[in-house]
Amino acid sequence: MDMAAVTDLLKKNFALDLENSKVLVVGLGNTGISVARYLQKLGFNFAITDSRDKPPMIEVFLQQMLDTPVFTGGFDEAAFNVATHLVVSPGVSLNEKSIIKAIANGAKVVSDIDLFACSAGVPIIAITGSNGKSTVTTMLGEMAKSAGKKVVIGGNLGTPALDLLTPAAELYVLELSSFQLERTFVLNATAATVLNVSADHLDRHADIAEYAREKQQVFNGNGAMVINADDPVVNAMRQAGRRIFTFSIKKEADFYIARKDDAEYLMHNKRRLMPLAELPLEGRHNAANALAALALGVSIGLDEQAMCNALRTFKGLDHRMQRVAEIRGVTWVNDSKATNIGACVAALQGYQRKVILIAGGDAKGADMTELTPIIKEKAKSVVLMGKDARLIEQALNRSIPAYSAGNMVEAVQIAARLAQSGDNVLLSPACASLDQYKNYQDRGEQFTKAVLALLP
């Protein structure tokens, strides 16, 4: 879209105009700097504030936007007082006192996703859920490429949305978090899905019902809805009068799994799409991810066989059920991206034999007793580490052997002593990583390094 059309939409939807608006960008991380570049390109009057003394992108900002006001080391009240619009980064809670006061004084909240939606000009597919959204986003991107589309993917995954904008794009596939969706108002995705809902981010959301409501925002508008028929919370999000596509790994749906001629197949209605055995990813939850991606692709008219060809070569994501090594008959699997209970549950459900589980970190307010049944069923022992390791140990209540580790090297060494040939050792923390690591990637890399150090 040309700039005049974009600024017209921003004025119509948010009373955001070049002459009178004063935008305050709150947070100077990857999202904040992407918003700043966007506003600078369009010619808006804006400033930036960050509570940290040295935000992650401050050096980039000072090099590229020397004349733009920036306030660090706390939220500057004067900046909030004059702002007509706030673009609040997902990492910043809307419950900050300065933000609440500014909104009460008439400032409008606009998200980077709102700005993106007013600027894209081509179909957008929006993907959210507690687990699997990065996998489905990446899968669908590969499917669209295989079907000949010029597709761009990002959002909560990788590149911030506003940095994705390009005239060459024919389709955008966005992964969106609950924090992005809670402050997004004009997104009308051509197709959208909530993959599942389980306890997550309860340190920021009041309860799981509020968390689910924020996820449901992805269905605002009139696009196709892709519904997980196995998740009662998601199933209740259906809206009358909308195109709906369902997927299930437990029963018949629009997209499902069926046994035919002694083999299981991914199905679309009554038609076989491909044998499940040709999907090169571990775990039943990845079959659900594939079905969701197929449903989204079909909803926008992608060729089914082109999509299946992409699935056959899809290798998965780093730190998501990633096989690290087999050492003395023991298989070591890195699922560091399992930053909540639901992701850990999905990983454990994919195993037929009991595993040795490495878990723990920052539970983010989640109830660790929800892990107890699946760990008792699927783990022969657990190695616990991090800030909330004790919560998991208490939840298990000595039902299976539990060991404590101070760091990843120690956790891997304990697991190596416990493991016998034929065992799987799974790092699937069920917790965030920031209590001990830079991020889940760093945690996964430390696991990989510790495992490879076991090699003779």
Q: pLDDT digits over 110-150, tens only?
A: 999 999 999 999 999 999 998 889 999 999 999 999 999 99
Residue 424 to residue 441: CA distance in whole angstroms: 21
> Does 434 or 298 have the greater pLDDT score?
298
108's enclosing H/E stretch is: strand 108-109
Q: What is the pLDDT of residue 88?
A: 95
Tens-place pLDDT, residues 180-220: 998 999 999 999 999 998 755 455 545 678 888 889 999 99
Q: Does domain 3-110 have CATH number 3.30.70.1170?
A: no
**By three-state DSSP, how is residue 401 classified?**
coil
Place 410 in a pLDDT band, splitting at 50, 70 and 90. very high
Domains 3-110 and 115-312 share a fold: no
Q: What is the pLDDT of residue 1?
A: 67
265's enclosing H/E stretch is: strand 263-268
**By three-state DSSP, how is residue 327 classified?**
strand
322-452 folds as Protein-Tyrosine Phosphatase; Chain A (3.90.190)
Residue 296 has pLDDT above 70, yes or no: yes
What positions carry a catalytic annotation?
133, 156, 201
**Which string of DSSP letters, residue by residue, matches 73-92?**
SS--HHHHHH-SEEEE-TTS
Q: C-alpha angle with apex 405: 401 to 407, nearest 5 degrees?
A: 150
Residue carrying the six token digits 């004063």 = 22
Q: What is the pLDDT of residue 207?
A: 66
215's enclosing H/E stretch is: helix 208-216
Residue 380 has pLDDT above 70, yes or no: yes
> Does 391 or 211 have the greater pLDDT score?
391
Architecture of domain 115-312: 3-Layer(aba) Sandwich (3.40)
Q: What is the pLDDT of residue 320?
A: 82
Q: What is the pLDDT of residue 199?
A: 55
Place 42 in a pLDDT band, splitting at 50, 70 and 90. very high
The lowest-confidence range among 34-38, 315-319, 427-431 is: 315-319
Q: What is the pLDDT of residue 236?
A: 94
Q: What is the pLDDT of residue 40?
A: 95
Please give the structure tokens belonging to residue 279.
């999907």
Residue 270 has pLDDT above 80, yes or no: yes
Tens-place pLDDT, residues 318-328: 788 888 889 99
Mean pLDDT, the chain, whole residue set: 92
427's enclosing H/E stretch is: strand 424-427
Residue carrying the six token digits 């706030």 = 86
- What does residue 309 show for φ and ψ, rounded to 5 degrees? -60, -40
The DSSP 8-state label assigned to residue 362 in this structure reads B
Q: Are 189 and 125 in contact (CB under 8 A)?
A: yes
Place 350 in a pLDDT band, splitting at 50, 70 and 90. confident
Task: Give the residue extent of every domain in the chain.
Answer: 3-110, 115-312, 322-452
Residue 391 to residue 389: CA distance in whole angstroms: 5
The DSSP 8-state label assigned to residue 161 in this structure reads G
Q: What is the pLDDT of residue 204?
A: 53
Strand 355-359 vs strand 379-384: parallel, antiparallel, or unpaired?
parallel
